[in-house]
Copies of this chain bind each other. A is one copy, B any other.
Amino acid sequence: MDIRKQFGANVRKHRQATGLSQEQFALQHDIDRTYVSGIERGKRNPTIVIVNKFAKALDVSIADLFDGCD
Chain A residues in contact with chain B, CB under 8 A? 3-4, 7, 45-49, 51-52, 55, 61-63, 66, 69-70
Give A69 Cβ to nearest chain B Cβ, in Å.
6
- Give 12 A-B contacts (CB < 8 Å), ordered by A residue: A3-B48, A3-B51, A3-B52, A4-B48, A7-B48, A45-B47, A46-B47, A47-B47, A48-B51, A48-B66, A63-B66, A63-B70
In the assembly, how many copies of this chain are there?
A: 2
A-B pairs, top 3 by smallest CB distance, nearest first, are: A63-B63, A62-B66, A45-B47
A66 to chain B: closest CB distance in Å? 4
Q: Shortest Cβ distance from A39 into chain B, in angstroms?
A: 10
